Amino acid sequence: MSVTPVLLWFRQDLRLQDNPALQAALARGGPVVAVFIWDELGEAGWKLGGASRWWLHHALAALDASLRELGSKLVLARGESGAVLKTLVRQLGAGAVYWNRRYEPAVIARDSSIKTELTAAGVEVKSFNGALLFEPHTIQNKQGRPFQVFTPFWKHCLELPVPPATKLATKLAWPEPPTRPHSLALAELELLPTIAWDVGFGPTWQPGEAGAAARLKKFTARAMEGYADARNRPDLDGTSMLSPWLHFGELSPRQVWAAVAAQSKESGVFPPSNGARVFLSEIGWREFAHHLLFHFPHTPERPLRAEFANFPWAADAGGAKLRAWQLGQTGYPIVDAGMRQLWHTGWMHNRVRMVVASFLVKHLRLPWTHGAAWFWDTLVDADLASNTLGWQWSAGCGADAAPYFRIFAPVLQGMKFDSAGDYVRRWVPELAKLPAENIHAPWEAPLHVLATAGVKLGGNYPHPIVDHARARSEALAALKQLRAPGAEVAQVSSPQAGWHDAG
């Protein structure tokens, strides 16, 4: 008896290797139709940002090319996911729909609804874990509640076995359906920007599974012993930069784990070095971010720590300060360098993300949600769980958050982690000729030094838009006001409780 076709629904798992849904679909024995649905309603209620759309376009092209090498191809569709799947099931006479699970609460609700409807229609529906080492619903503390502090969360996880990454045979028979449904052309999804602001993306990134494998190999081939320190240096290539590939599922955390474990063969010790241990803990932060979003679904819009709902944010007439921050025109070189790197490449160094976030919420005293929205639109690795964790951590209002009174001093951060000024020189070229001792605080440089370097404050580079000492004092006063006796505290139905490198 012939086996009915199975629809393999690709989402944020755009890879062939270590793909549980794909392997199960092939093992079923019938024809397999791979489909990606561009659902403009957005993921988890957030429409995909411009930088992520750019990445998705190229990731889909790469996945389709890989499928064609196996004698298949990717069907592209556009519309509401449930409606499109039901149409495809009917057209193909499909008996099953398989996918890998996602963990954003809104997506869980949607997937559950789709599963109920398809199952009622007699369609077999199966979902798998292809995105995380440990699924959020399987992890709880000794009281049976969600963890809200990273260290005990990760310690608990490290006591659990990590399933091995699986490999797909390079030569296999991909069963084809008698008829193949119509597929849109990739351009019809309209994912690419309509203005040329992405010119720096192509030279920086190689979306797709091959790009992920190449970057992982390059990173793990280095001596990882120095990673714990090098990851804080934006002037160095000291991080893995794997976050966009992990977000779009062109690389799985199990593959990352296996790559690090492979280094342990010679030494017989796992992790093989302190750098490797720290690197894996960054994968742990990614897991923790999804754990928090799963259990506290309100956090993309509202603080986990309820008292921060009434924080006295500053006024910003016309959005001038926010715009200066977005454009990298704050007058603080390390902040401006980070924001310009973000705009040009769709990515920002982890250490600098913390600096620019602290600057927005503590120096400018603007809501963390403004920063989260900007990052969501401009990061190629924009991930709802990680973005929420990072911003709430920086604002001091989330789980395991940095205390609000911990205010990053941008000049000191620059001097400590970009001591020679190379990172600033790359992204703020108008300051490139300043000596290292002046580059992080050009307003303190002697006039002749500025003149020699061609720097005109208030001309080709702005004066600082806020004074650090004054901004710090006002931020601490706002915190004191929030905690004043009798201050109204908003209540949310959740317990009260770093920005990870993502590799």
Instruction: Report how far apart, in Å, the C-alpha atoms of 415 and of each of 33, 229, 239 are.
Output: 54, 15, 19
* 343 part of the active site: no
Instruction: Specify the DSSP element, H or E, that contains 64.
Output: helix 50-69
- Among candidate residues 232, 350, 387, 438, the one labeled active-site is 350
pLDDT at 491: 31
pLDDT at 189 over 60: yes
CATH of the domain spanning 306-482: 1.10.579.10
71 compared with 294, residue with greater pLDDT: 294
- Among candidate residues 46, 154, 245, 285, the one labeled active-site is 285
Q: Where are the domains of the chain?
A: 6-130, 132-164+208-295, 306-482
Q: Are 295 and 288 in contact (CB under 8 A)?
A: no
Half-sphere exposure of 179 (CA within 13 A, CB side): 9
Q: Are 397 and 303 in contact (CB under 8 A)?
A: yes
d(CA 176, CA 168): 18
pLDDT at 44 over 60: no
d(CA 317, CA 299): 27
d(CA 443, CA 463): 7
Q: May I ask the CATH class of domain 6-130? A: alpha beta
The arithmetic mean of pLDDT across residues 170-180, rounded, is 78
Lowest pLDDT segment from 191-195, 333-337, 351-355, 488-492: 488-492
pLDDT at 213: 96
Q: Are 7 and 97 in contact (CB under 8 A)?
A: yes
pLDDT at 183 over 80: yes
pLDDT at 493 over 50: no
The arithmetic mean of pLDDT across residues 167-190, rounded, is 86
E strands within 201-261?
Answer: none
pLDDT at 325: 98
503: pLDDT confidence band, cut at 50, 70 and 90?
A: very low
Token pair listed for 231: 């990851």
- Among candidate residues 9, 343, 347, 368, the one labeled active-site is 368
∠ CA(87), CA(93), CA(96), 5° rounding? 85
The arithmetic mean of pLDDT across residues 168-177, rounded, is 76
- Among candidate residues 282, 325, 374, 499, the one labeled active-site is 282
Q: Is the dihedral of CA 273, 288, 475, 495 positive or negative?
A: negative
Q: Is the dihedral of CA 264, 268, 269, 272 positive or negative?
A: negative
Identify which of 259, 273, 257 has the alpha carbon closest to the alpha carbon of residue 220. Answer: 259
Instruction: Give the whole-number percent of the chain exceeding pLDDT 70.
Output: 93
Indicate the fold that domain 132-164+208-295 takes in CATH: 1.25.40
pLDDT at 167: 87
User: Could you tell me which residues come within 8 angstroms of residue 361 by beta carbon, excluding any fewer than 6 positions away?
Assistant: 367, 368, 371, 394, 395
pLDDT at 29 over 80: yes
- Among candidate residues 391, 393, 427, 499, the one labeled active-site is 391
Model confidence over 59-69: pLDDT tens digits?
999 999 999 99
pLDDT at 489: 34
pLDDT at 224: 74
d(CA 297, CA 498): 19
434: pLDDT confidence band, cut at 50, 70 and 90?
A: very high
Sheet with strand 124-128: strands edge to edge? 74-78, 32-38, 6-10, 96-100, 124-128
pLDDT at 453 over 90: yes
* 282 part of the active site: yes
Identify which of 242, 210, 253, 240 has the alpha carbon closest to the alpha carbon of residue 100. Answer: 253
Q: Where is mean pLDDT largest: 221-230, 261-270, 443-452?
A: 443-452
pLDDT at 90: 96
The arithmetic mean of pLDDT across residues 195-224, rounded, is 92
d(CA 399, CA 385): 12
Model confidence over 339-349: pLDDT tens digits?
999 999 999 99
pLDDT at 420 over 70: yes
pLDDT at 497: 32
Token pair listed for 65: 């090319």
Identify which of 83, 461, 405, 388 has the alpha carbon closest to the alpha carbon of residue 379. Answer: 388
Lowest pLDDT segment from 216-225, 262-271, 466-475, 488-497: 488-497
pLDDT at 452: 98
- Among candidate residues 135, 174, 274, 313, the one labeled active-site is 313
* 141 part of the active site: no
* 310 part of the active site: no
The arithmetic mean of pLDDT across residues 160-172, rounded, is 83
SS3 letters across 63-126: HHHHHHHCCCCEEEEECCHHHHHHHHHHHHCCCEEEEECCCCHHHHHHHHHHHHHHHHCCCEEE
Instruction: Report how far apart, in Å, the C-alpha atoms of 159 and of each of 147, 150, 153 are.
Output: 15, 14, 10
pLDDT at 177: 86
The arithmetic mean of pLDDT across residues 279-287, rounded, is 95
Lowest pLDDT segment from 103-107, 121-125, 401-405, 489-493: 489-493
pLDDT at 196 over 90: no
Lowest pLDDT segment from 312-316, 404-408, 484-488, 491-495: 491-495
pLDDT at 163 over 80: yes
Lowest pLDDT segment from 47-56, 366-375, 391-400: 391-400
pLDDT at 80: 93
DSSP 280: H
pLDDT at 492 over 80: no
Residue with tokens 């190449």: 214
Instruction: Report how far apart, in Å, the C-alpha atoms of 228 and of each of 217, 259, 277, 286, 376 are.
Output: 19, 18, 9, 17, 27
Pairing between β-strand 6-10 and β-strand 74-78 as defined by DSSP bridges = unpaired
d(CA 362, CA 356): 10
pLDDT at 438 over 60: yes
Model confidence over 247-256: pLDDT tens digits?
999 999 999 9
pLDDT at 467: 96
pLDDT at 214 over 80: yes
d(CA 310, CA 492): 12
Instruction: Specify the DSSP element, H or E, that contains 70.
Output: none
Model confidence over 71-129: pLDDT tens digits?
899 999 999 999 999 999 999 999 999 999 999 988 999 999 999 999 999 999 999 99
The arithmetic mean of pLDDT across residues 486-497, rounded, is 33
How many residues appear in the chain? 503
d(CA 184, CA 160): 43
